[in-house]
Every structure is written in C-alpha cells, then in structure tokens.
Structure 1
Amino acid sequence: MTTSDTTDNSGDVRLTGISKTYDNGFTAVQPLDLTVPQGSFFALLGASGCGKTTTLRMIAGLEEPTTGTVMLGDQDVTNLPPYKRPVNTVFQSYALFPHLDIFENVAFGLRRRGIKSVKKQVEEMLDLVQLGEHARKKPHQLSGGQQQRVAVARALINHPKVLLLDEPLGALDLKLRRQMQLELKRIQTEVGITFVHVTHDQEEAMTMADTVAVMNAGRVEQLGAPTDLYENPGSTFVANFLGTSNFVQAEISGTAGDDIALRLPSSDGKLLLPAARCSAPTTTGGKVLLGVRPEKVSLTHADDAAEIADGRNRVTGRIKESSFIGVSTQYVVDSPVGDAFEVYVQNVERDSRLAPGAEVVLHWNPAHTFGLDAAQDADAGVEKVAEDVKGAVA
C-alpha cells in the first residue's frame, strides 16, 4: 500500500516560534519549534519550572502563547478556545465526577453533545481500558490506577485528534505507576492517536514514549528516541537528567583509526573515544569531557588485572563505598580521574573481594564512551533532578 495520497496528518502537532512570557516578565517558554507526528507517543520531560506544562497548556488552549502558532494537522488553532480544539486533556487529579458511576463518567462528553445512544460506545471504551466489569461502580470504589484509566476512557470517547496527558501517573505509587506506564502505551498503540505526555519522571518518559523532548529553562535541550538520548546525550544536562554519568576531563592526544586518543592529566593512563560519539571539537591538544555510564563499566580486583582483555579503557582505583540494592551492587571508587567514579555491577557472580578499601581496575569498551565540550558544567542537571524529586515528595 502506498501512503503518498492516504497519509493522515490530522493528528500532527506543529508548534512554530511558540513562547510564553507572563506579565511579571518571567519567560516560561523560550521561542521553540516542535513537531509531534500523527500517531506517535511524545513526551515532554523536564524538572519543575522547565516549561513543559506551559507548552502542553498552549497546545490545549489553556494558555495563550505570547508569540508563535499552534497547528493541529492543517488547522491553525492558536486563537481557538479549548472546547473548539480537537484535543482532550487528562490531568493528574483525574477530575472524575464522584456522584456518577464509571459508565456515566465515560458517557459524559457524548451526552453533553446531545448524543442519545451511548451504550455501545461506552462499553467499547471501557473494554479498551479493561474496566467493563466496573461500569456501575463509583470512582471512590476504584483504585488510583483504575480511576486513571476511567479518565483516559472519558477523554478518548470524544475521538480527539490529540490526547494530552499532564503528569497523569504522578499520584500513583511506584509499582502501580510502572504498571500504568505499560497500560497507557498499550492503549495508545491500540487507538493509534497522538499522545503528548508531560512528566518529570525519566523512567516514565523512556518507557512509554517514541520520542522525548528534554526541556530545560524553557528550551528543548535535546530531542530524540529514548535510546539515542541515553546513549548519545548532547549535553551534560541531558546525560545527568537521564540517569547517572561519570565525567572525566581529558586532553586529545591524537587519533587511532575511528577513535580519538585521550590523555588523562592526572595519570599516565590513555583512553579511547569513538570520534562519531564526540560532540566537542577534536583538535589535538584540545580538552574534552569524557563520559561513561556506571552500568557500562566493569570492576576487576587488581590481583586479576592481567585477565582484562586488551583494547578496553582502563582506570585504576580503590573502592570507597559499596551499596547492595538487590539487582546490582553500586560502587563508588577513588581514582586518579576523580574521587567518586560510580560503577553498577549486576549481582550474578559476586566477588567478595570487591569491598571498601580494595584495589581495583575500572574497565569498559571504548565504544561505550561519549565526549562532550569540556566547557560544560559536569554537574548540570544533577541538582535540578534532586530538587524536582524533593518537590514531588513535598
């Protein structure tokens, strides 16, 4: 089947030069261009105050943009009120009607539009969210996750071109939140409409979304597939916001095939970095910030150093701390390149010698190394994550 004449782009969301500055002078969203393709699951990810919710509200029509346009498909909706836009929003609070049963909550939008025969549509929607047997219960008789699914069903029954989700899982506990991540992804895949999801939870965004826009201070810091953002962060902020990274200041000493050779100023060691994974200038003598994720690093006792395969990046050190967390053990290692090099080791065959005070060799495949501009702050994004978690708990 060809798609040249049948492609449906009515669910595209296109933001052009969109920005929001309030009367007090605070700019919540800097001018940005963003396209969300029809049928995709798109996440706006960032800490509190980064502009993600304001961006969502401008799509919904709940905030008036200071500049720019909002297009849904070929329709310019910038100046349309919310009820005239082909979108529906699901909020963290769910906002279900407590006096109505689940069937009537879902049917509400249809009845308000004067549709008399709602039974078939409501039953189909309740089946989609796997709540058919709970149709005559009141919201307070359902769990938080079930209430959240009712809110999604109530929004979807209106057949919006775009479903907007504003921190929809924020009120759920961790286990239920993870279940609902998979449930929301299943629903989106089945209905095939565009989902735009706002969250501060990195795992949530990476589990569900096809594409993630990481926002910082009103701007999109980086946009891409979850795997690409994690493996190839374009800035220290993205690297730190999407997990943990070890950063090492190094000097470029030359090239070795497709790799860049790096000299560590604080030791005699040399490391390799794939040129394709370095976003910094690669001039010999220049500085680069080498990055590697803790789970990519192996930890070997110094007595067994001769068994490490050739060609791997190596750094010696001494274990400073270790924390057993079930699936893995997390180590903090003092080394010539820093006093807090983190390593996550899966608890498959634990080496009892790997305890605080032990001399070790950190080693990893050079292909797992990425390089960033050394002028960047290695701690960018770290404090923001901590503040956001604190705010979410408060």
Structure 2
Amino acid sequence: MRTSTDATGRGGDVRLTGISRTYGSFTAVHPLDLTVPQGSFFALLGASGCGKTTTLRMIAGLEEPSTGTVHLGDQDVTALPPYKRPVNTVFQSYALFPHLDIFENVAFGLRRRGVRGVKKQVDEMLGLVQLGEQARKKPHQLSGGQQQRVAVARALINHPRVLLLDEPLGALDLKLRRRMQLELKRIQTEVGITFVHVTHDQEEAMTMADTVAVMNGGRVEQLGAPADLYENPRTTFVANFLGTSNLIAAEAEGGSGDDVVARAAGDRLVLPAARCPAPVGRGGTVLIGVRPEKAGITHADDADSVPEGRNRLRGRITGTSFIGVSTQYLVDCAACPGFEVYVQNIDRDTRLVPGAEVVLHWDPAHTFGLDAAQSPLAGTAEARDAAGDGAAR
C-alpha cells in the first residue's frame, strides 16, 4: 500500500513518488510519496530499522530505488549518479581529511572543480559556522562539535540545492548535541536551503525540524509539524515514540455535544470528539491518551480540591523519581496500571510518596483518542526490545 504524504502546498525541493527499496524478499522501504518543502528543515525520524537512512540514501543516489522516482526541484534525478545530483551529504563520521587544515578541508570541493580564488568563499563559510579563527588548525585539534561544523561548511560551500544529514550529531555528548541542534537550525535559517535530516532522536527532530516524518517499518506513520505530532498523534506508535503517553482502554458511552464520554474501570472520562478516531459508537472501545505533563496528582485527602469537570482516576503511587526540574510519579490505577505523571518542582507535596493514595486529574481538552485495535505498546522501548533490531537502516 502506498503512503501519500505531502507536507505543505509549497513547491518541493525533494519529491519522492512511489519510491521503495527491496532486498530480495525483504522490503526496507514500502512505496511512498513524500514532498519536502523548499527551504525547510525536514526530519526523517524513527528507530533503527525503520527505513529512514535507506530513504535518505535514495535521495542522495547512494541506493537505487526498486520502484518510483526521485525529483530534486523539477529535475528527475532517479538515474543520475550521486556526483551529478545537486545534493551534498554530512555523515555522522564527518569524514574530514586529517592531513589538511580546516581551511583546505572546506576548500576541497571548490579546488576539485578547478575554482580559483577560493579564499573569499571559504572565509565566508567559516564565518557562517563561526570557525574563522580555527582556519589553520587540523581536524584533530578541534572538538567534536567544531568538526561537525567543518563538515557542514565543506558541504555547503558547493551550494547544493539540498543538504542531507545522516545522524550528524550521533557521536556527540548530550550537552554538545543540544547546543549543535540550535547551531544547525541557525545555519539552515541563514543559508535558506533545504535540509533533510535523519535521526532516531525525538528531541533532536522536534527541536530543529519544521516538518517531521515519523517512520515505522519502512512506511511514514505520520507527518506534520512537531507540535502537531506531539499533541495529536494518530497512532499508538507515534503517541509512544514521541515522548510518553498514558493509554487507557475505555468503552464509549456515546457523545455529549462536542465531547465523547467513555468509562474505564468504572471511571467516567471525557475527550473532545474532534480528537477521537472516526465515530466510536456506544459500546465501542477506544484508547484514551494523555501526556504525563498534562496530568495533575493530588493526595486523596485533598480530593475535594480538584476542580469540577476534570477527568479523574484514583490510584496508589508505586514509585517516584526526582529529576531536578520535575518529579516523575508512577501510579497504579485500576484503569491504567503504570500511569505516569510529571510535575514541576515548584511546591512539592511531601505526602506524595510510594504507597500514598492519590487522585489523578486532567483537563478533558488535553485528552486524545486512538483506535483500540492498535497495540498500546507500539513505539515503546519494550516493544522495540522485543522485536529486536530490524534489518533495514
């Protein structure tokens, strides 16, 4: 089945039509249509084995598609070798020339094409990545983040139509990776060309990208702006893969105006009909979802202080984790064993300890519904561990 996904109505710098890749009897990428908007920062996000890197390599010309076509702008490049495509790729390894200084690493592509008088272009590009003062150092004298910026500068100096980034931050430590996320976004905004970025890191994709395509099993599971994917997941895989979701199996009792009313283990829960899967009739099962940071937790002794109209579940705290900015609570409820709540550490209630009886509560507007035919574990670390690593990259 072909997945048709078009990010916006704008012209696309990259258009994949019916693109797929098979290896014998194994399908790494199922036929899909995908348009990457011109001048955007686009992310292909997914776990190992989802087909994201194979898709990127087909854009670059490093993998030959089994079916379909690749267009860059109005040009069909499906049959063109990599060096004839107006794209450049930055890999996780950076692949800098150790014997050349930073200036010559960046100038390499220009000199290879016989361009004379490269100093002005190289200086401008080193200025863009804020490495002008490092021009005469060798790669080994730079930090990982600086080497990554050199690799980006070397790729951009050739003025590609599209820059492809294959897990470019994977080798960096967490603090540096977060700083480089902002740096890459700044560079993309300044140069204004299309960036297509492959990553397995949800935070990385949501921090940098204008549009994210979440891939699973060689297909695009959902595509959209980061905030929309997070707030309005359409599948349990997306709900679980992008952050954490509490998913509660409930029986629909019918509608009430713009809302759907359901029951889970005797508790009445309400969610907006607009955030529910296509019509759930009376007695139908629905997975009700809420993000951990959207829920509040109140000691059972103060249950009367919970505002009217909020969804409520009663339970017992089974675990707590203090992580500085917030405390994470794990609560055992009849409707949802292992319900997670994240509470900012502003005014901590010292009674909220393992064993305490509590009321969980949240605004019905922050509730979403999903098709109950899906596995509630799809997209979780447990599900990925059970499945093992896939053969596709």
| Class of the TM-score when normalised by the shorter of the 2 chains | over 0.9
Q: Shift of residue 338 of structure 1?
A: 2.3
Q: What's the secondary structure of 1:159's corresponding residue?
A: coil
Distance 1:12 1:179, change over 3 A: same
Distance, in Å, in 1 between the alignment partners of 2:384 and 2:294 is 23
Distance, in Å, in 1 between the alignment partners of 2:194 and 2:382 is 29
Could you state the TM-score of these two structures normalised by the residue count of structure 2? 0.94
Contact 2:377 2:383 survives alignment (8 Å): no
Unaligned runs of 5+ in 1: 1-6
Matched, 1:123 2:137: no
Which position in structure 2 is the counterpart of 1:383? Answer: 381
Specify the code of the residue in structure 2 equivalent to 1:244: T
Contact 1:280 1:371 survives alignment (8 Å): no
Distance, in Å, in 2 between the alignment partners of 1:235 and 1:289 is 10
Runs of 4+ aligned residues of structure 1 deviating over 3 Å after TM superposition are 383-388
Matched, 1:78 2:78: yes
Q: Shift of residue 339 of structure 1?
A: 2.0
Matched, 1:330 2:331: no
Distance, in Å, in 1 between the alignment partners of 2:311 and 2:382 is 31
Which position in structure 2 is the counterpart of 1:62? Answer: 62
**What is the CA RMSD across the aligned residues, in angstroms?**
1.5
% identity of equivalent residues: 79
Specify the code of the residue in structure 2 equivalent to 1:43: A
Q: Shift of residue 8 of structure 1?
A: 9.6
Distance 1:384 1:190, change over 3 A: farther
Which position in structure 2 is the counterpart of 1:3? Answer: none
Distance, in Å, in 1 between the alignment partners of 2:385 and 2:184 is 27
Specify the code of the residue in structure 2 equivalent to 1:322: T
Distance, in Å, in 1 between the alignment partners of 2:67 and 2:254 is 47
Distance 1:312 1:8, change over 3 A: closer
Distance, in Å, in 1 between the alignment partners of 2:257 and 2:10 is 46
Which position in structure 1 is the counterpart of 2:209? Answer: 209
Distance, in Å, in 2 between the alignment partners of 1:105 and 1:341 is 52
Distance, in Å, in 2 between the alignment partners of 1:353 and 1:281 is 42
Q: Equivalences for 1:1-394 in 2 at 5 Å?
A: 9=11, 12-22=13-23, 24-264=24-264, 266-267=265-266, 269-383=267-381, 387=385
Distance 1:42 1:228, change over 3 A: same
Contact 1:45 1:201 survives alignment (8 Å): yes
Contact 2:10 2:37 survives alignment (8 Å): no
Contact 2:167 2:199 survives alignment (8 Å): yes
Q: Shift of residue 281 of structure 1?
A: 3.1
Distance, in Å, in 1 between the alignment partners of 2:241 and 2:114 is 47
Contact 1:316 1:362 survives alignment (8 Å): yes
Q: What's the secondary structure of 2:337's corresponding residue?
A: strand
Which position in structure 2 is the counterpart of 1:4? Answer: none
Distance, in Å, in 1 between the alignment partners of 2:71 and 2:129 is 29
Q: What's the secondary structure of 1:79's corresponding residue?
A: coil
Distance, in Å, in 2 between the alignment partners of 1:182 and 1:59 is 25
The count of residues paired between Structure 1 and Structure 2 equals 380
Q: What's the secondary structure of 1:12's corresponding residue?
A: strand
Q: What's the secondary structure of 2:229's corresponding residue?
A: helix
Specify the code of the residue in structure 1 equivalent to 2:340: E
Contact 1:280 1:372 survives alignment (8 Å): no
Q: What's the secondary structure of 2:271's corresponding residue?
A: strand
Distance 1:384 1:81, change over 3 A: farther
Specify the code of the residue in structure 2 equivalent to 1:19: S
Which position in structure 1 is the counterpart of 2:3? Answer: none
Q: What's the secondary structure of 2:204's corresponding residue?
A: helix
Q: What's the secondary structure of 2:319's corresponding residue?
A: strand
Q: Shift of residue 383 of structure 1?
A: 3.2
Could you state the TM-score of these two structures normalised by the residue count of structure 1? 0.94
Specify the code of the residue in structure 2 equivalent to 1:358: A
